[in-house]
Chain A
């Protein structure tokens, strides 16, 4: 324990750690307040002119406007939503006055999106909303499952296992959906972006742990001590992981506290389907989705940290380690953007940083029905990402110790 404490002290004293941690905390604060400040709500002033309200005012205005719609989204409520739209459209066509739009349609836009998605897959938005009969909405949740099934059959015509797995998860989705105004899809997206940035920063912090010692020769003395091999290597790894874990916890806590407090903690009870896609088959509320995203982010962070420590134990200087680590952090994003196909997607999921990034990340894949083929076996992308990361943590941990102990002075 004493060696652990001394090693923690050593790493914390390093300027690289201080600077990186400060940047991480600053980013958390900036992103949190940026999310809030980018909140928008279209209001109308006394003269009937459109006014764009932003920030906390937008959040307050939105909450007031959406109050009547909060709670369970029953079929009857959705029926009323559709009737309202059809009445307004019938009266004004596409030239809807701003005050009418703000009062009648703005609050129900997200529900109309859901109806369009469930009944026409989200295409021909206006046409579909005008064609659907309000009495059909009484089967909204049943139709939702049917549409999901149809889309799966189209996407995976020869993969009955994938279809079965998705529908099994969909069975657990609680209906009617719950809605509370507040927490937005933007906030969830920015959480994913923050996690990706924290993963990069963690690679920066841990990259010099071993390779800097090789470079300045300080490991020569340490290796000759009683506990200077396996025990020291394990201690360095644990200390590094603890520091990145602490940094992640502090930064995410800052984000969650600022953003959730601004939007209202009750708004996280909203069903995930309301903010993302009505066809999302995950049986989660926004709160649960947030927790899952954070947990997945932490697992990815630890996998990347262990991988970077392994590279550090291999390389003779910290710059090389850093370049390789950052390259591997960005590789999933690059591969996913430029490549296609099962092999590329598999590679993306298996990389330590596969769970972080942009559209390739765990958070975005939660909403996706991307199944990957391994032989005759299909696996949903988020499962593969997390499974790989969970295996990579102990694997690279052990490999790092082994590599450090085998290292030869040049």
Chain B
């Protein structure tokens, strides 16, 4: 199975949300990273067919997904960033409704809905109205509906928003379990959601795909750019103003800083192994242009 995004572009009046993006996806988990406004949601909507591209197309095994119609949608599972639901429905009502639209038979729908409610720990509240749910519970219900038809292509837009750490771990494990032979596209701001489970990371910036690769490969691209150092609070403040600081921890009367910089930022700074979060900050710091680090090489 191969999902090809072929020069996908979405142009609005005053903005290009997705700019001639091309990528081919095969079964695996793809973490889509990008700042707010990078175009991730627009891209996902075009993949799901609920937003028409201005130009370009989405092909599944060479066939245009728009012309495939129902047969493409039969393979899809989608959780949007803002999960809209019917407030008067109970959780089980909602899943049965969506299951019917996904083409499951009545008996299969019942079994599958109950299975998924158990999986996302909503079994005990299955007969309660969705409007009484907390944000996290709604999110879990959203994940459940996306999995109803055991989709071959799973598109999840910020799936862990509102989930506590335990729930996020549970979700990560769930995705890992079900992702065999599936294309899973998972967009998030929470780097740890994808760091350990994604086969490939796609980094989007200003509507373009700026980097693609395995997590360890792409973090290797900033090998030598990540430093740790100790500084007094006054110096720490200055370093914070000048450099990308991915972590700052107060230790007694000193601060421990983790800095992303091409040059050594401080005399006692030591190089450390970069993480995906460092890479994210490297790409998305507002201070810098595309892939650039500050020109200030002054070592304090």
Contact = CB atoms under 8 A, between A and B. Distances in A.
Given A10-B88, A409-B45, A2 B50 contact: no
Interface of B: 45, 48-52, 69-70, 73-74, 76-80, 82-86, 88-89, 93, 96-98, 100-103, 106, 142, 145-146, 149
Contacts of B146: 221
Interface centre among B45, B78, B83, B100 (most CB of A within 10 A): B100
Contact of A221 (B51, B89, B96, B98): B98
A327 interface: no
A220 B146 CA distance: 12
A83 B36 CA distance: 93
A218 B84 contact: yes
12 contacts: A2-B106, A216-B84, A218-B85, A219-B84, A220-B50, A220-B78, A223-B50, A225-B76, A225-B101, A229-B73, A232-B101, A408-B51
Contacts of B74: 226
A213 interface: yes
Nearest to A408: B51
A226 B73 contact: yes
A232 B102 CA distance: 11
A338 interface: no
Interface centre among A13, A219, A225, A408 (most CB of B within 10 A): A225
Contacts of B73: 224-226, 228-229
B96 to A, nearest CB: 7
B48 A217 contact: no
A221 B88 contact: no
B98 A222 contact: yes
Interface of A: 2-3, 6-7, 9-10, 13-15, 213, 216-229, 232, 408-409
Contacts of A6: 93, 96-97, 100
A232 B88 CA distance: 19
A14 B88 CA distance: 7
A144 B149 CA distance: 73
Contact of B76 (A2, A13, A224, A232): A224
A222 B88 contact: no
B157 to A, nearest CB: 9
Nearest to B70: A226
Given A10-B97, A226-B70, A409-B50, A220 B84 contact: yes
Contacts of A14: 88
A224 B49 contact: yes
A217 B82 contact: yes
Contacts of A408: 50-52
A7 B88 CA distance: 12
Nearest to A4: B100
B78 to A, nearest CB: 4
Nearest to B106: A2
A221 B78 contact: yes
A351 B80 CA distance: 39
Given A6-B97, A227-B101, A409-B45, A218 B106 contact: no
B51 A409 contact: yes
A223 B82 CA distance: 15
A314 to B, nearest CB: 17
Interface centre among A3, A217, A221 (most CB of B within 10 A): A221
A10 B86 contact: yes
Given A6-B100, A224-B76, A225-B101, A13 B50 contact: no
A225 B89 contact: no
A227 B101 CA distance: 5
Nearest to B45: A409
B153 to A, nearest CB: 10
Contact of A217 (B52, B70, B84, B145): B84
A90 B70 CA distance: 86
Nearest to A218: B84
A341 to B, nearest CB: 42
A224 B50 contact: yes
The 6 closest A-B pairs by CB, nearest first: A218-B84, A217-B84, A225-B101, A224-B78, A216-B84, A226-B103
Contacts of B50: 220, 223-224, 408-409
A218 B130 CA distance: 13
Contacts of B89: 10, 13
Contacts of A9: 93
Contact of B100 (A2, A218, A219, A223): A2
A308 B78 CA distance: 30
Contact of A223 (B49, B83, B93, B149): B49
A225 B103 CA distance: 8
Contacts of B51: 408-409
Given A6-B96, A223-B49, A409-B50, A217 B101 contact: no
Contacts of B93: 6, 9-10
A26 to B, nearest CB: 22
A226 B101 contact: yes
Nearest to B73: A226
Contact of A3 (B76, B83, B100, B149): B100
